[in-house]
Structure 1
Amino acid sequence: MLHLRVIAPEDLRDDVLRVLQRHVGVAHLVIHPGAALDPEGDEIAADVARESANDVVKQLKDLDVQHRGAITLTALDTVLSTRAHRAEDEAEGDPADALVWDELITRTREESTLSVTFMTFLTLACLLAAIGAVTDSMVTVVGAMVLGPEFGPLAALSVALVQRRGDLARRATIALLIGFPVAMGITALLTLAGRAVGWLSFDTIGDIHDVDFIFQVGPVSFVVALLAGAAGMLSLMSSKSAALVGVFISVTTVPAAGFTAVAGILGHWDVAAQSAAQLAVNLVGVVLAGVLVLVLRPRGNVIPRSAQT
């Protein structure tokens, strides 16, 4: 379940209570009149079944609560309550299939911000991928795939396309369009340094076998990107972090970006072009899969029984 906390001005108190009281998926309704100081108003709390969250939040937004007060949602790991269990049973749909849009939008917005941390992780991941490629080390490449933060902006872009959120789309696009070139540029500079001191040469990547999947782009690459993108979006919707790690290992974005820079600096322009194509195929595949999952998701959880009567 989710814990809902509402701060609302006194004149909206009755309206907010009516919204919460008429939903079968709401339990443990509590009100503290005049408890909120900034903004001033009442604090109203309740536990809400995930299946009912979208409809509850939408009706609260229709009251303009988000502008005149506040709406917060917190996931509850353990709830020992017969009333809460009954609310979940009576709400339409299954909690595992319930998509709470505001929760997903907030999560993807946070993970798609172009920040120093994002840039650092992406650069380190590209460098690790480059090292793994030139040393033909699968372990190092997999480590780079896990480290890469690029799935956040890709998921945010999928959500933005489905929800038509221009602000979220701009945030995600900026992170990708600035993040990858900067990370690849730094990787290229360090590759030049390695070549200058004799650590790297044209023959360095001439005989690699274990990580040649990085630049072997084809239909299978697109299929893998689609499957990984679908799994990643499902993991975000259901908060399955373990599944998300598996997605990172499946997508050849960071390795392709790092190897594009290395191959180009060392003069393997055909390999660099193939790696760049691999990067593009994976980026498009992940975003497309995310959009399809959101569009084709189960919709039985949107309309609670209370809205049907």
Structure 2
Amino acid sequence: MVAMLHLRLITPSEKTGDVVRLVESTVGTTHLVVLPDAARDPAGDVVMCDVAREAGDELLNGLRELGIDAGGSIAVESIDLSLSERADKAEADAPGEAADAVLWEQLGEATHEESTLSVTYLAFITLATMIAACGVVLDNAILIVGAMAVGPEFGPLAGVCTAVVQRRPGLAMRSMIALLAGFAVAMAVTVGFSLFMDAVDLFSEQQLRADRPNTDFIYAPDWFSFVVAVLAGIAGTLSLTSAKSGALVGVAISVTTVPAAANAAVALSYGDTRQTWGSTEQLLLNLLGIMIAGTATLLAQKWFWAKQRQRV
């Protein structure tokens, strides 16, 4: 399948010529369309083209240098299917492989949205932590896996990694606020949830302190936990940069961030400092491993792609 992007541009009339020349000179572009005076808000021309994914970042950078994002508009869409010999040739001519290309603008936009502290984000991380609380008390691995899949914490983690590589302190601050505030709210609500469940005899301290062969690893961190977090961070980052989002589900259920937060909250409600501290260590260890691995992966991809472009 041809990996192409469709660009729809609104360009000020005086810059249309420069935009057309940029598109025509960028290897990997095709299907160029120019509609003079077609745009009304903002007023200008409409320019459309298709570009191979591996050439997309270069073209987007060139368009921003021309100020099209400020005086007009740049819209990018992924093409699911393109039946065109010209598209096949454009992708073949573009340097590198589509799967290795990183669209930094797209990545920054995606992590910006996913790392924003919103009511929806707080709802998801809180519900995931409450589900995990049921899982740790019942020693139910299915509930733990479900809670991991629901948790949205990889968004802010990816935001931190992207911010470090792109040197965007605003994104880093927003991501850290979403991450820390999200877990703080989720754990506080889960403490109240645990007390309520105890009051109605659905949770008990005996269940928490009993042998839990399926979930006792959550409050007993070790180097294996860190290794898994690092591997998950690499896989998650690659899934974002290569647009293979399906892998994120596997990443979500391979780390114990949400379950660790849940176990810490339940243990805190019963005054079990050993499990509270152990679970907190597990949570911090996983967060650290993912952030280190994600940042290193993005830096490696940036270096590798730059070297690949130099060989062309």
TM-score class, shorter-chain normalisation, is over 0.9
- Please state if 1:19 is matched with 2:16: no
* SS of aligned partner of 1:272: helix
Structure 1 residues 147 and 247 mapped into 2: Cα distance closer, same or farther (>3 Å)? same
- Please state if 1:296 is matched with 2:281: no
Match of 1:256 in 2: 260
Q: Structure 2 CA distance, aligned partners of 1:101 and 1:270? A: 43
* SS of aligned partner of 1:3: strand
Q: Percent identity between the aligned chains?
A: 47
Q: Structure 2 CA distance, aligned partners of 1:68 and 1:200? A: 59
Alignment of 1:43-54 (within 5 A): 43-54=46-57
* SS of aligned partner of 1:241: coil
Q: 1:29 aligns with which of 17, 28, 32?
A: 32
Structure 1 residues 65 and 295 mapped into 2: Cα distance closer, same or farther (>3 Å)? same
Match of 1:86 in 2: 89
Q: Match for 2:204: what amino acid?
A: S
Query: Normalising to structure 1: TM-score of the pair?
Result: 0.96
Post-superposition offset of 1:248: 0.4
Post-superposition offset of 1:241: 2.3
Post-superposition offset of 1:238: 1.3
Map Cα deviations across residues 145-174 of structure 1 (whole Å, 9 max, x no partner). 000000011111110111011221122111
Q: Structure 2 CA distance, aligned partners of 1:240 and 1:130? A: 30
Q: Structure 2 CA distance, aligned partners of 1:143 and 1:222? A: 21
Say whether the 8 Å CA contact 1:96–1:238 is kept in structure 2. Answer: yes
Q: Match for 2:141: what amino acid?
A: M
Match of 2:142 in 1: 139
Say whether the 8 Å CA contact 1:32–1:44 is kept in structure 2. Answer: yes
CA RMSD of aligned residues (A): 1.7
Q: Structure 1 CA distance, aligned partners of 2:289 and 2:224? A: 11
Note the residue ranges of structure 1 that are not aligned, 5 or more in a row: none
Q: Match for 1:6: what amino acid?
A: L
Note the residue ranges of structure 2 that are not aligned, 5 or more in a row: none
How many equivalent residue pairs?
Answer: 308
Say whether the 8 Å CA contact 1:132–1:139 is kept in structure 2. Answer: yes
Deviates most, 186-195 or 144-153: 186-195
Q: 2:289 aligns with which of 271, 285, 307?
A: 285
* SS of aligned partner of 1:296: helix
Q: Structure 2 CA distance, aligned partners of 1:21 and 1:304? A: 22
Say whether the 8 Å CA contact 1:127–1:187 is kept in structure 2. Answer: yes
- Please state if 1:226 is matched with 2:230: yes
List, as ranges, runs of 4+ consecutive aligned residues in structure 1 with deviation greater than 6 Å.
Answer: none
Map Cα deviations across residues 73-92 of structure 1 (whole Å, 9 max, x no partner). 11111111111111111111
Q: Match for 2:241: what amino acid?
A: M
Structure 1 residues 303 and 277 mapped into 2: Cα distance closer, same or farther (>3 Å)? closer
* SS of aligned partner of 1:294: helix
Q: Match for 2:19: what amino acid?
A: V
Q: Structure 1 CA distance, aligned partners of 2:308 and 2:91? A: 11
